[in-house]
C-alpha cells in the first residue's frame, strides 16, 4: 500500500458489480495502490471506505481505479444534501426483481430436464434433444450474469467466484454438446449424470445438461436469497435514515407559517411542531411544553417531558402539545445524521478476525481452478473414465464458496450495529467487539453516570415548634437569589411547594453561605460555621440531622432566623433509579465494578453501597482518572470505562473499552468505543451483551465458512459429490451465513 497522509478526507464509495469476496479484495488492492489512499472494501455493504490525501489523488481518480478493476463506483452526494432529507431506501422487491425473474424462468426450464433424467419411465425417443432445448436458455441466459462477470474479470486478468460458476456450467454444457453431436449420445440415447455419488467406469457418452441447468438454478436461488438477506441485514440503518421529517412549518417574522422542505431549513430558523409531528431538526424549545417520543434515538419507550430551554433532536415525535423550536443544527450535523454516520463507519470496518478470511479469499479462486485441473488430471491418469474425472472436476469448481468467507463478518456487523442503533447503542467499529469479550473490570464515573449529575433537595429537618412549609418558603426565597448549584437545588425544591416571597438586602458569603431579609426576617443560610458567627448554634436534633445527611453522602445546609438555628436542608446528587440494576447486570457479565470519583470518600462509599459496588476510588483529580485506569491495566486487568464528562475523556481513551453516555459531552463521546444514547446505565450492559453476541456470530459464521470449504472441496475432488449437489451446497453455504447473522435482529435489551 502506498504511503497515506495522516490527514485528509474520507469517502464512502458505493461499488457496483461485486459478486463475491474476491471482488472486494481486488477493488481494495487497486484502491490501495494509489498514493495517499487507505481503503477497505466491504462485500456485504457493497461500499468502499476510503481515506485519501486530496493533494495526492482526486476523488475522480478513485472511481477510475475501481473501474480499472472491472467494477463501477459513484461519488456520493454532498453530505449536507443527503443527510438533510434522506430518501426512502429502495424496496427489497425492486432491488431483486431482475434476479427473481431470471430465477423463476430458469427453474421452470430446469425442472423438466431434472425430472426426465431421474425418472426413466418418462423418457421417450430422442428426449435428450428436448432437454437440450430446455437447458440451453438456462445456461446462456439464466447464467448470463456469471458469464458476463467472468469475461469482464478475464479481460482484467483476474478470476472470481463467477469464473468458477461460469467454467463449471459451460464445461457441463459444452461436454454435453460434444456427446450429442460428435459422440454417440445423440444416437443411442444418453446416460444422465445425476447420481448423488458419481460412478466410475461409465461410458464416454454421458452428458450433463441437467447439471448445467440445475446448478445455474441453485446458484441463482442462492444469490437471490442472499441478496434479500443482505438487504434485511442493513434494514435497521435504512430505516434510521428514513426517519427524518420531509417538510417543516417555518415561522416567519410576522408569525405566519409556511411549509418548506427540511433541506431548506437554516440554523436559527423557528419552526412549529404540532402533536403527532416529527421534530424537523435539532433545536431548542422556545415556546410550549410537551412530551417527546425519543425511542428512535435512545431505544427508550417512555416519552420525555420538554419545555422552554430544552434541547430536542430531529426525527423525535411530538406526543403532546404544540412546540415552537429554534433550529441549532441542520443536515449532516444533526444527531440523526451523526448516528447514521457512526453506524455506517462501523459497518465499513473490518474486525481483526476477518483479515485471515480476506487473505484466503484473495487467492481462493486461482487455487480452486488449479485444484479442479489437478482433479481432472489425477483421475484421468489413474485410469478412471473421462466422464468420472470431468464430473469430479466440475464439482470442485462449483462447490467452492469464498462468498461465505466474505459475508461472515460484515453481515453480522451490519445486523448487530443496526440493531444497536435501534436500541440507542452505537458501536464505533468492529475492533471494539473483541474488547467487550476480554474486559474483566468496569470503572464507572460517579457524577452523571451512576448519579443524575444534578443536585436536588432530598430532606428538610426543622427544630421543635417550627413548620416545615414556612422553613421551605423562607429559605427557598433567599436561595433563589444565589447561583450556587446547592442553592438552586433548594430553591427548586421550595418553589415546587408554592410561590416564594421577595428578598431584600441579599449578600453572598463566599464559601460559607448567604444572608438576607425575607418578610422582615433576617436569614442566615449556609455552613453551621456561618450561623455560629451570628451566635446561632444547631440544637441536638438538627445537629443529628446534619450528621446523618453527611453520613449518607449528602451536603447539609443550616438555616436560622430571628437569632435561632431553625432548620437543616440535605442536598445530594441523587443516584439514578436504574443504577443498581445496571451494576447487577454488569456483574452477571463477569465484570468487576469500580466506582471512580473526585468526591470525598464518605459520599462515594455511600453511593457505592446504594448501588452494590464494593470497590471505591475517591478524591481523584480529573487529570488522574486516566492514570487510575492505566494502573488497573498494569495489574493485568482488561478495563472498560463508563463516563460522560469532559474530564472522563482521557480515561475513556485509555481504557481497553470506553463507553460514554449520550447525555454527556461531545468530547467524551468522541473518545469512547461505545455510545449509550439514552444515558441509562443499564444500556452499558446491553451494549456489551450485544457486542459479545455480534462477535460470537462472526466466529460462528467463519467457523462454518472455513469448515464448509475444508470439507466440501476434498469430497468433490475424490468424486463423492455430484455437481448438482455441489451447486445446492454452495448456495446454501452463503445463505446460511447471512441467515445466522440475521438472528441478531431478535436481540432484546434488558432495560424496560
Active site residues: 445
Q: Are 67 and 13 in contact (CB under 8 A)?
A: no
Which among 674, 206, 205 has a CA at the least distance from the CA of 433?
Answer: 674
CA dihedral (701, 704, 706, 712) positive or negative? negative
The Cα 717–Cα 752 span in angstroms is 54
Q: Which residues lie below 8 Å from residue 106, measured CB to CB, with a gap of 6+?
A: 138, 142, 213, 216, 217, 220
DSSP state of 24: H
* Count of other CB atoms within 10 angstroms of residue 237: 23
Q: Which residues lie below 8 Å from residue 467, measured CB to CB, with a gap of 6+?
A: none
Please give the backbone phi and psi of residue 722, each rounded to the nearest 5 degrees, phi first. -75, 145
Block residue for cell numbers 481452478: 369
Q: Which residues lie below 8 Å from residue 42, measured CB to CB, with a gap of 6+?
A: 24, 48, 49, 347, 348, 350, 410
Which among 483, 484, 349, 444 has a CA at the least distance from the CA of 664?
Answer: 444
Q: Sheet harboring 47-52: ordered strands across? A: 37-42, 47-52, 9-16, 72-73
Angstrom distances, CA of residue 82 to CA of 78, 128, 241, 242, 655: 7, 56, 10, 11, 35
Q: Which residues lie below 8 Å from residue 727, measured CB to CB, with a gap of 6+?
A: 168, 214, 215, 216, 218, 219, 398, 399
The Cα 469–Cα 497 span in angstroms is 8
- Structure-block grid coordinates of residue 743: 438472528
Angstrom distances, CA of residue 212 to CA of 160, 219, 467: 19, 11, 94
Q: What is the CA radius of gyration of the chain?
A: 35
The Cα 65–Cα 60 span in angstroms is 9
The Cα 234–Cα 418 span in angstroms is 7
DSSP state of 77: P
| CA of residue 399 relative to chain centroid, distance | 33
Which among 420, 406, 415 has a CA at the least distance from the CA of 46?
Answer: 406
Q: Which residues lie below 8 Å from residue 547, measured CB to CB, with a gap of 6+?
A: none
Q: Sheet harboring 451-462: ordered strands across? A: 451-462, 564-575, 555-561, 521-526, 513-518, 503-509
Provide DSSP, 645-673: SGGGHHHHHHSSEEEEETTS-HHHHHH-S
CA dihedral (16, 416, 299, 313) positive or negative? negative
Q: Are 274 and 384 in contact (CB under 8 A)?
A: no
- Element containing residue 561 per DSSP (H, E): strand 555-561
Strand partners, 606: none
Amino acid at each position: 500500500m502506498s504511503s497515506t497522509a495522516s490527514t485528509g478526507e474520507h469517502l464512502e464509495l458505493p461499488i457496483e458489480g461485486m459478486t463475491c469476496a474476491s471482488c472486494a479484495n481486488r477493488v481494495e488492492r487497486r484502491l490501495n495502490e494509489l498514493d495517499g489512499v487507505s481503503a477497505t472494501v466491504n462485500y456485504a455493504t457493497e461500499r468502499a471506505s476510503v481515506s485519501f490525501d486530496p493533494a495526492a489523488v482526486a476523488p475522480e481518480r478513485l472511481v477510475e481505479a475501481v473501474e480499472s478493476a472491472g467494477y463501477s463506483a459513484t461519488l456520493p452526494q454532498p453530505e449536507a444534501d443527503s443527510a438533510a432529507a434522506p430518501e426512502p431506501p429502495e424496496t427489497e422487491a425492486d432491488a431483486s426483481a431482475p434476479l427473481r425473474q431470471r430465477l423463476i424462468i430458469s427453474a421452470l426450464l430446469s425442472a423438466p430436464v431434472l425430472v426426465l433424467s431421474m425418472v426413466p419411465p418418462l423418457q421417450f425417443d430422442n428426449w435428450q434433444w428436448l432437454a437440450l432445448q430446455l437447458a440451453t436458455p438456462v445456461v446462456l441466459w439464466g447464467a448470463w450474469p456469471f458469464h458476463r462477470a467472468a469475461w469482464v474479470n478475464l479481460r482484467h486478468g483476474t478470476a472470481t467466484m463467477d469464473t468458477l460458476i461460469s467454467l463449471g456450467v459451460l464445461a457441463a454444457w459444452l461436454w454435453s454438446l460434444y456427446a450429442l453431436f460428435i459422440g454417440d449420445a445423440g444416437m443411442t440415447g444418453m446416460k444422465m449424470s445425476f447420481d448423488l455419488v458419481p460412478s466410475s467406469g461409465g461410458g464416454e457418452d454421458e452428458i450433463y445438461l441437467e447439471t448445467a441447468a440445475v446448478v445455474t438454478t441453485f446458484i441463482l436461488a442462492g444469490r437471490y436469497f442472499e441478496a434479500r438477506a443482505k438487504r434485511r441485514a442493513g434494514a435497521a440503518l435504512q430505516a434510521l435514515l428514513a426517519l427524518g421529517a420531509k417538510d417543516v412549518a417555518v415561522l416567519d417574522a410576522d408569525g405566519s407559517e409556511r411549509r418548506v422542505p427540511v433541506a431548506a431549513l437554516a440554523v436559527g430558523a423557528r419552526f412549529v411542531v404540532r402533536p403527532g409531528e416529527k421534530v424537523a431538526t435539532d433545536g431548542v424549545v422556545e415556546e410550549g411544553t410537551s412530551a417527546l417520543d425519543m425511542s428512535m434515538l435512545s431505544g427508550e419507550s417512555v416519552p420525555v417531558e420538554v419545555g422552554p430551554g430544552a434541547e430536542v433532536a430531529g426525527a423525535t415525535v411530538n406526543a403532546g402539545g404544540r412546540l415552537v423550536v429554534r433550529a441549532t443544527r441542520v443536515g449532516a450535523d444533526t444527531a440523526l445524521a451523526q448516528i447514521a454516520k457512526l453506524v455506517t463507519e462501523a459497518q465499513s470496518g473490518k474486525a481483526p478476525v476477518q483479515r485471515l478470511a480476506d487473505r484466503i479469499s484473495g487467492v481462493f479462486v486461482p487455487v480452486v481452478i488449479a485444484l479442479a485441473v489437478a482433479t481432472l488430471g489425477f483421475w484421468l491418469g489413474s485410469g478412471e473414465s473421462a466422464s468420472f474425472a470431468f464430473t469430479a472436476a466440475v464439482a470442485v469448481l462449483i462447490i467452492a464458496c469464498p462468498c461465505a468467507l466474505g459475508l461472515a463478518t460484515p453481515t453480522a456487523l451490519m445486523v448487530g450495529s443496526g440493531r444497536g442503533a435501534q436500541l440507542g447503542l452505537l458501536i464505533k467499529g468492529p475492533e471494539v467487539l473483541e474488547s467487550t469479550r476480554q474486559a474483566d473490570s468496569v470503572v464507572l464515573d460517579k457524577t452523571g453516570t451512576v448519579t443524575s449529575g444534578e443536585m436536588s433537595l432530598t430532606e428538610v429537618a426543622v427544630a421543635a415548634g417550627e413548620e416545615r412549609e414556612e422553613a421551605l418558603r423562607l429559605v427557598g426565597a433567599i436561595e433563589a437569589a444565589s447561583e450556587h448549584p446547592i442553592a438552586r437545588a433548594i430553591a427548586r425544591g421550595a418553589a415546587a411547594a408554592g410561590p416564594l416571597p421577595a428578598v431584600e438586602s441579599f449578600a453572598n458569603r463566599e464559601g460559607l453561605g448567604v444572608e438576607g431579609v425575607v418578610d422582615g426576617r433576617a436569614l442566615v443560610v449556609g455552613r453551621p460555621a456561618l450561623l455560629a458567627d451570628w451566635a446561632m448554634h444547631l440544637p441536638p436534633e438538627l445537629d443529628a440531622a446534619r450528621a446523618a445527611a453527611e453520613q449518607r453522602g449528602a451536603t447539609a445546609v443550616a438555616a436560622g432566623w430571628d437569632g435561632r438555628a431553625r432548620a437543616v436542608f440535605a442536598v445530594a446528587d441523587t443516584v439514578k433509579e436504574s443504577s443498581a440494576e445496571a451494576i447487577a447486570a454488569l456483574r452477571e457479565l463477569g465484570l468487576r465494578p469500580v466506582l471512580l470519583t473526585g468526591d470525598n470518600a464518605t459520599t462515594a462509599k455511600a453511593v457505592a453501597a446504594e448501588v452494590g459496588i464494593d470497590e471505591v476510588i475517591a478524591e481523584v483529580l480529573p487529570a488522574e482518572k486516566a492514570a487510575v485506569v492505566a494502573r488497573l491495566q498494569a495489574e493485568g486487568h482488561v478495563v472498560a470505562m463508563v463516563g460522560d464528562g469532559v474530564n472522563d475523556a482521557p480515561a475513556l481513551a485509555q481504557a481497553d473499552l470506553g463507553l460514554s453516555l449520550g447525555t454527556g459531552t461531545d468530547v467524551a463521546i468522541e473518545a469512547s468505543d461505545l455510545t449509550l444514547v439514552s444515558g441509562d446505565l443499564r444500556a452499558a450492559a446491553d451494549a456489551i451483551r450485544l457486542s459479545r453476541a455480534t462477535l460470537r456470530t462472526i466466529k460462528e459464521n467463519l467457523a462454518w465458512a472455513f469448515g464448509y470449504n475444508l470439507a466440501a472441496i476434498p469430497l468433490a475432488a475424490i468424486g463423492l459429490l455430484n455437481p448438482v449437489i455441489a451447486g445446492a451446497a454452495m448456495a446454501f453455504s452463503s445463505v446460511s451465513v447471512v441467515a445466522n447473522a440475521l438472528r441478531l435482529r431478535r436481540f432484546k435489551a434488558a432495560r424496560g
